[in-house]
Structure 1
Amino acid sequence: MPSSGNVPWRQSRSVTWLAVTAVALLLAVAAAAAVNAWRGFGAPFPGLFVDPYADFSNVSMPAWAQEGLPLKYPDRLVAIEGQALPRELPFPSQAAAARIAALARDGATEARLTFSTSEGPREVRRPLLALGTNEVGFFFGFYAVVALFLLWTGGVVLVMAGHRPGARAYAAWTVGAYLLFLSFYDYHTTAGLPAAFSLGGVGFDLGFLWLAYAFPEPPKRGRAVLRTVLLAVTAWGVGAAAWMVVAPWLGHDASTTRQVVGQGVPASMAVLLLSIVLRLGRGSGRERAELLSAAWGLAAAPATLAVGFFVALASGSGVVHLFVPFVIPLLPLSIGFALVRHNILETDVVLSRRLLAGPIVLASLGGALLTWLALRLLVREGVETWLPTLLSVPVLVGGLMACNRLTLWLFFPAASQFRPSIEQLSDQLSSLHEMPAIRQAVEAVVSRWLPTSGPVRVLEARELTSVPNLPEDARERLNTGQHVWTLETPWQRLLVVPMRSLGRLRGVLLLPPKHQAALYTSEDLTLLATIASLGAVSLHHAEALKELEALRRSDVEATRDEKRFTLGLLGAELSHEIAYPLNFFRYLLRRSGKGHTLEPQDVEIGSEEVARLERMLATLRKLKSPAPQLAPVALVGPLKRALELIREPVEEKRLSVSVEVPEDLVVLADPDMVLQVFANLLRNGAQAVESGGRLGVSASLAEGGVRVECWDSGPGVPEALRDSIWNPWVTTKEGGSGLGLAITQRLVSSLEWRISLERKEERTCFCLHVPDRVLLIAPAASRSAAASA
Structure 2
Amino acid sequence: MPSIGNVSRRRSRPVTWLTVTAVTLLLGVGVAASVNAWQTVGAPFPGLFVDPYADFSNVSMPSWALEPLSLKYPDRLVAVEGQPLSPDARLPSQSAAARIAALARDGHTQVRLTFMTSAGPREVIRPLLRLSTHEMGFFFGFYALVALFLLWTAGMVLLMAGHRPGARAYAIWAVGAYLLFLTFYDYHTTATLPAAFSVGGVGFDLGFLWMAYAFPEPPRRGRRVLLPVLLAVTAWGVGAAIWMGLSPWLGRDASTTRLLVGQGIPLSMAVLLLSIVLRLGRGSGRERSELLSAAWGLAAAPATLAVGFLLALASGSTVVHLFVPFVIPLLPLSVGFSLVRHNILATNVVLSRRLLAGPILLASLCATLLAWLALRLLVREGVETWLPTLLALPVLIGGIMACNRLSLWLFFPATSQFRPSIEQLSDQLSSLHELPAIRQAVEAVVWRWLPTSGPVRVLQAHELPAVPNLPEDALERLNTGHHVWTEETPWNRMLVVPMRSLGRLRGVLLLPPKHHAALYTSEDLTLLATIASLGAVSLHHAEALKELDALRRSDVEATRDEKRFTLGLLGAELSHEIAYPLNFFRYLLKRSGRGHALEPQDVEIGSEEVARLERMLVTLRKLKLPVPQVAQVTLVGPLKRALELIREPLEDKRISVSIEVPEGLVVLADPDMLLQVLANLLRNGMQAVEPGGSIGVRAVLVDQGLKVECWDSGPGVPESLRDHIWNPWMTTKEGGSGLGLAITQRLVSSLGWRISLERREERTWFCLHVPERALIASSPVAVPSTARASPG
Cα shift at 1:464: 2.0
Cα shift at 1:165: 0.9
Q: TM-score, normalised by structure 2?
A: 0.94
Q: Is the 8 A contact 1:71 1:316 kept in 2?
A: yes
Query: Distance between the aligned counterparts of 2:235 and 2:38, measured in 1?
Result: 36
Query: Distance between the aligned counterparts of 2:531 and 2:652, measured in 1?
Result: 83
Query: Which residue of structure 2 lines up, in the alignment, with residue 72 of structure 1?
Result: 72
Query: Distance between the aligned counterparts of 2:72 and 2:631, measured in 1?
Result: 136
The residue type equivalent to 1:787 in the other structure is R
- C-alpha deviations, 1:509-546, integer Å up to 9, x for none? 22222222222212222222222222222232333333
Counting only pairs closer than 5 Å after superposition, residues 63-462 of structure 1 correspond to structure 2 as: 63-65=63-65, 67-161=67-161, 164-383=164-383, 385-462=385-462
Cα shift at 1:570: 0.3
Query: Distance between the aligned counterparts of 1:415 and 1:678, measured in 2?
Result: 83
Q: Is the 8 A contact 1:576 1:739 kept in 2?
A: yes
Query: Distance between the aligned counterparts of 2:235 and 2:778, measured in 1?
Result: 125
Q: Is the 8 A contact 1:628 1:670 kept in 2?
A: yes
Query: Which residue of structure 2 lines up, in the alignment, with residue 637 of structure 1?
Result: 637
Counting only pairs closer than 5 Å after superposition, residues 685-700 of structure 1 correspond to structure 2 as: 685-700=685-700
When the two chains are superposed, the root-mean-square deviation of aligned CA atoms in Å is: 2.4
Query: Which residue of structure 1 lines up, in the alignment, with residue 547 of structure 2?
Result: 547
Judging changes above 3 Å, is the alpha-carbon distance between structure 1 residues 14 and 157 closer, same or farther for their aligned structure 2 residues? closer
Q: Is the 8 A contact 1:46 1:128 kept in 2?
A: yes
Judging changes above 3 Å, is the alpha-carbon distance between structure 1 residues 714 and 236 closer, same or farther for their aligned structure 2 residues? farther
Moved more, 200-209 or 340-349: 340-349
- C-alpha deviations, 1:608-645, integer Å up to 9, x for none? 44443343333323322233344443222322332343
Q: Is the 8 A contact 1:266 1:307 kept in 2?
A: yes
Query: Distance between the aligned counterparts of 2:438 and 2:751, measured in 1?
Result: 57
Judging changes above 3 Å, is the alpha-carbon distance between structure 1 residues 332 and 738 closer, same or farther for their aligned structure 2 residues? same
The yes-or-no answer on 1:787 pairing with 2:792 is: no
Query: Which residue of structure 2 lines up, in the alignment, with residue 53 of structure 1?
Result: 53
Q: Secondary structure at the match of 1:202?
A: helix
Q: Is the 8 A contact 1:162 1:348 kept in 2?
A: no
Query: Which residue of structure 1 lines up, in the alignment, with residue 502 of structure 2?
Result: 502
The residue type equivalent to 2:358 in the other structure is G
Query: Distance between the aligned counterparts of 1:329 and 1:715, measured in 2?
Result: 109
Query: Distance between the aligned counterparts of 1:782 and 1:31, measured in 2?
Result: 117
Judging changes above 3 Å, is the alpha-carbon distance between structure 1 residues 527 and 14 closer, same or farther for their aligned structure 2 residues? closer
The residue type equivalent to 2:519 in the other structure is L
Query: Which residue of structure 2 lines up, in the alignment, with residue 576 of structure 1?
Result: 576
The residue type equivalent to 1:119 in the other structure is A
Moved more, 173-182 or 636-645: 636-645
The residue type equivalent to 1:529 in the other structure is A
Judging changes above 3 Å, is the alpha-carbon distance between structure 1 residues 734 and 225 closer, same or farther for their aligned structure 2 residues? farther
Cα shift at 1:741: 1.3
Q: Secondary structure at the match of 2:249?
A: helix
Moved more, 703-712 or 299-308: 703-712
The residue type equivalent to 1:278 in the other structure is L
- Structure 2 portions without partners, runs of 5+: 1-7
Counting only pairs closer than 5 Å after superposition, residues 591-630 of structure 1 correspond to structure 2 as: 597=596, 600=599, 605-606=605-606, 608-630=608-630
- C-alpha deviations, 1:641-698, integer Å up to 9, x for none? 3234334554555544322111221223333222211121122223334455442211
Query: Which residue of structure 2 lines up, in the alignment, with residue 3 of structure 1?
Result: none
Moved more, 565-574 or 607-616: 607-616
The residue type equivalent to 1:238 in the other structure is V
Q: Secondary structure at the match of 1:124?
A: strand
Q: Is the 8 A contact 2:588 2:598 kept in 1?
A: no
- C-alpha deviations, 1:9-55, integer Å up to 9, x for none? 99977534433332222111100100111122211112111111222
Judging changes above 3 Å, is the alpha-carbon distance between structure 1 residues 31 and 718 closer, same or farther for their aligned structure 2 residues? farther
Q: Is the 8 A contact 1:266 1:310 kept in 2?
A: yes
- C-alpha deviations, 1:186-206, integer Å up to 9, x for none? 111111111111111110000
Moved more, 298-307 or 425-434: 425-434
Query: Distance between the aligned counterparts of 1:479 and 1:412, measured in 2?
Result: 28
Q: Is the 8 A contact 1:497 1:508 kept in 2?
A: yes
Query: Which residue of structure 1 lines up, in the alignment, with residue 4 of structure 2?
Result: none
Query: Distance between the aligned counterparts of 1:271 and 1:213, measured in 2?
Result: 9
Query: Which residue of structure 1 lines up, in the alignment, with residue 740 of structure 2?
Result: 740
Query: Distance between the aligned counterparts of 1:198 and 1:360, measured in 2?
Result: 29
Counting only pairs closer than 5 Å after superposition, residues 446-485 of structure 1 correspond to structure 2 as: 446-485=446-485
Query: Distance between the aligned counterparts of 2:89 and 2:205, measured in 1?
Result: 28
Query: Distance between the aligned counterparts of 2:729 and 2:113, measured in 1?
Result: 128
Query: Which residue of structure 1 lines up, in the alignment, with residue 5 of structure 2?
Result: none
- Structure 1 portions without partners, runs of 5+: 1-7
Query: Which residue of structure 2 lines up, in the alignment, with residue 725 of structure 1?
Result: 725
Moved more, 506-515 or 199-208: 506-515
Q: Secondary structure at the match of 1:382?
A: coil
Moved more, 365-374 or 340-349: 340-349
Query: Distance between the aligned counterparts of 1:248 and 1:419, measured in 2?
Result: 64
Q: TM-score, normalised by structure 1?
A: 0.94
Query: Which residue of structure 1 lines up, in the alignment, with residue 533 of structure 2?
Result: 533
Moved more, 235-244 or 173-182: 235-244
Query: Distance between the aligned counterparts of 2:590 and 2:472, measured in 1?
Result: 86
- C-alpha deviations, 1:335-360, integer Å up to 9, x for none? 11111111111122111111001001
Q: Secondary structure at the match of 1:708?
A: strand
Query: Distance between the aligned counterparts of 1:748 and 1:683, measured in 2?
Result: 16
- C-alpha deviations, 1:181-234, integer Å up to 9, x for none? 001111111111111111111100000001101111111111222112111111
Q: Secondary structure at the match of 1:383?
A: coil
Percent identity for Structure 1 against Structure 2: 82
Query: Distance between the aligned counterparts of 1:163 and 1:14, measured in 2?
Result: 13
The yes-or-no answer on 1:664 pairing with 2:664 is: yes
Query: Distance between the aligned counterparts of 1:101 and 1:381, measured in 2?
Result: 26
The residue type equivalent to 1:480 in the other structure is T
Moved more, 134-143 or 487-496: 487-496
Cα shift at 1:760: 3.3
| Aligned residues between the structures | 781
The residue type equivalent to 1:450 in the other structure is L
Query: Distance between the aligned counterparts of 2:621 and 2:634, measured in 1?
Result: 30
Query: Distance between the aligned counterparts of 1:783 and 1:295, measured in 2?
Result: 117
The residue type equivalent to 2:436 in the other structure is P
